[in-house]
Amino acid sequence: MTVHSTARTAGHISLLPLAIAAAALVAACGSGDDGASSSANGNAAAQGAGREAAAGISTATLPVGRYVIVNALSGKCVDVAAASTADGGNIQQAGCNANMAQAFDVSQPSAGVYKLINVGSGKAVDVASAGTGDGANMQQWADNGTNAQRFRIERVQGNRYVLTNVNSSKCVDVASASLDDGANIQQWSCNGSGAQQYHFYPLTATGRGTLPVGQYTISSNHSHLCVDIQGGSTTAGTAAVQATCSSAQTQKFDVLPEQGGAYRFSNAQTHQSLDIAGVSTASGALLTQWTDTAGDNQRFLVNATPDGYQVVARHSGKCLDVAEWSTASGGKLQQWDCTGTQANQRWAFSAGSGDTTTPTQPPTQPPAGWRLVWQDEFNGSAIDGNKWGFEVNGGGGGNNELQYYTARAENASVANGVLSIKALKERFCSTDGCRDYTSARLRTLNKGDWLYGRMEARIKLPGGQGLWPAFWMLPSDSVYGGWAASGEIDIMEAVNAGAAGGNTVYGTLHYGGTWPNNTNSGKPFVPASSILNDFHTYAVEWEPGVIRHYVDGTLYNTQTQWWSSGGAFPAPFDKRFHILLNVAVGGNWPGAPNGATTFPQRMDVDYVRVYQR
């Protein structure tokens, strides 16, 4: 990353007794059902009602119901191989499809203990031969009531669940943490990795739900503020408002599956449901909290759009809306006629504190023809020194940056499957003098160097005036001379995000002569949801004579023209490069932090992967 040229009050209708009565039908759901018959629709309705009774107010343990199960690491679906209906049919992962071999009815035979029945076969997920060792295979088998077919399912992060077999106390695991179709699913000692974590997407007669079940913060794409309960009140009828995003429990909502593909949002602190006041169907009716009544004014449809999520009250058909386009903390939230793509009716759902996933599409899979050659999933407890080195200096990065880059755990660490790079406001002195901020800059130089490939990372960004996070590449050998004659590939940069920089990221190439005879070219891109609250996948595809930039699989920038004073085209982008990750503070492009900038700031990286042809 280097020099740039750019600078309620009453009226609730209670349906709860009906929901509880319907819950008794859950046990009849699913076995051998192909999902196409009228009984499937009845089963789905019964399951939805059953969820209302069984889910309660929390997603800490999984609500019962019918689900599509997606591995958090690979983004692939748990699947019965070849849609087998026989005992012993193998359980694997595969690309997600609409086949009932990828649908499972999840019920609780006893408190805290689950069984999973495949909808296509009517058979239970089973540990082969009731094995207790690592590597014992997952298969399907006729339900026999043994603990080899019983699991505990517990949320370990915002919307990620771990399945632990009751008999063996081992975790359901994708073998070798594979990303491939057909990879086997087995049991293995629990290790906290993404290969042992799963998203549960509700499945109803209307299709697979948009969001996996879990705990989320909900933020406005217009104001970038989070949905909160005014004053943290536990009183029914208290308004829901927007507020500066924080770790407060009042900004966390358990997103629970309901009938007909709808969701309920239960506040994590008050345990009350988001509610359209007075069951009103009028535009301008306020969003409040209220004890759950199972009314449709507490049930919401969540629709994915290119501009973010649209949240629609089921009873009125109106959209959740930031009143009067407010950008102020304390601004009211209401329902209003759904109109076009306006940002005050678009929302981001970010999985709860510490989570590494988002309710967007599963991790982007590379196009056909690319093979994985290097990866870091950050599933350990420390930064892998065989893959990453630290740059330690306070030299300003050639951009008059204000931070001191350190190798301290305070500035860079791995936990819960995430690499976190933290910018701190603190006085720090070392061999390059004293600075008022610290951060970290990691690189793969001489540990991972590549000529051509697809370089990809899934990242959630820090924000505020003076923050400059980047995922980028520099030449490993500088064959063509000093910067920028030997080139630079900026896969993703953001400056002053959430402040003057909005929700924009940049993909840029630097080339030409050595400074100051250098030049650059690139484009900005604005993702559909918040770069601060959500993870997004940033990538380049670098091939001879062409470099393409992507965000979340969307191609937004293709470059085929550049030059170097040190050699003929395609120089300088025909030599080895390595990857860098860092968060700079201040510098020529963003300028210095101001009084509105808060610290610490953190860039979270879910993974980095390199593919080649």
Q: Which of 52, 401, 488, 541 is catalytic?
A: 488
DSSP 497: B
Q: How many CA atoms, within 13 angstroms, populate the side-chain half-sphere of residue 55?
A: 35
What pTM, to 2 d.p., does this model score?
0.58
Q: Which residue has the tokens 């002569």?
A: 513
Q: Kindly state whether residues 589 and 459 are assigned to the same domain.
A: yes
Structure-block tokens of residue 547: 């470099």
Q: Kindly state whether residues 394 and 377 are assigned to the same domain.
A: yes
Number of compact structural domains in the chain: 3
Phi, psi of 101 (to 5 degrees): -65, -15
Mean local confidence (pLDDT), 564-589: 97
List the single range of 54-68, 112-126, 549-563 with lowest mean pLDDT.
54-68
Structure-block tokens of residue 52: 């209302």
Mean local confidence (pLDDT), 456-481: 96
Q: Kindly state whether residues 41 and 150 are assigned to the same domain.
A: yes
Q: Is the distance from CB of 512 to CB of 464 less than 8 angstroms?
A: no
| Domain final residue pick, 207, 233, 263 | 207
Q: Is 541 a catalytic residue?
A: no
Asked if residue 366 is part of any domain, the answer here is no
List the single range of 54-58, 65-69, 84-88, 184-188 with lowest mean pLDDT.
54-58
Q: Kindly state whether residues 158 and 267 are assigned to the same domain.
A: no
pLDDT band at 247 (very low <50, low <70, confident <90, very high): confident
Residue 158 sits in a domain whose CATH number is 2.80.10.50
Query: Residue 525 and residue 252: Cα distance in Å, rounded?
Result: 29
Q: Is the pLDDT of residue 154 over 60?
A: yes
Structure-block tokens of residue 155: 């949320």
Q: Is the distance from CB of 469 to CB of 412 less than 8 angstroms?
A: no
Q: Kindly state whether residues 193 and 221 are assigned to the same domain.
A: no
List the single range of 37-41, 262-266, 421-425, 576-580 with lowest mean pLDDT.
37-41
Q: Kindly state whether residues 380 and 333 are assigned to the same domain.
A: no
Enclosing H/E stretch for 41: helix 38-55
Structural domain range at position 495: 371-612
Q: Which residue has the higher pLDDT, 30 or 418?
A: 418
Query: Residue 270 and residue 536: Cα distance in Å, rounded?
Result: 31
Mean local confidence (pLDDT), 297-316: 90
What pLDDT score was predicted for residue 348? 85
Residue 479 sits in a domain whose CATH number is 2.60.120.200
| Domain final residue pick, 207, 234, 261 | 207
Q: Kindly state whether residues 195 and 228 are assigned to the same domain.
A: no
β 433-439/546-551 pair status? unpaired
Asked if residue 603 is part of any domain, the answer here is yes
DSSP 40: H
Q: Is the pLDDT of residue 316 over 80?
A: yes
Q: Is the pLDDT of residue 567 over 90?
A: yes
Q: Kindly state whether residues 201 and 286 are assigned to the same domain.
A: no
Q: Which of 258, 493, 541, 543 is catalytic?
A: 493
Q: Kindly state whether residues 384 and 456 are assigned to the same domain.
A: yes
Query: Residue 31 and residue 509: Cα distance in Å, rounded?
Result: 56
Asked if residue 489 is part of any domain, the answer here is yes
Q: Kindly state whether residues 289 and 388 are assigned to the same domain.
A: no
Among 421, 414, 253, 452, CA closest to 333 = 253
Average pLDDT, the chain: 87
Specify the amino acid at residue 508. T
Q: Is the distance from CB of 439 to CB of 599 less than 8 angstroms?
A: no
Among 60, 518, 552, 563, CA closest to 268 = 60
| Domain final residue pick, 182, 207, 232 | 207
Q: Is the distance from CB of 257 to CB of 48 less than 8 angstroms?
A: yes
Q: Is the distance from CB of 423 to CB of 437 less than 8 angstroms?
A: yes
Q: Kindly state whether residues 122 and 136 are assigned to the same domain.
A: yes
Q: Is 488 a catalytic residue?
A: yes
What pLDDT score was predicted for residue 553? 86
Q: How far is CA 335 from CA 219, 226, 251, 310, in A?
A: 15, 16, 19, 12
Q: Kindly state whether residues 169 and 229 are assigned to the same domain.
A: no
Q: Is the pLDDT of residue 528 over 90?
A: no
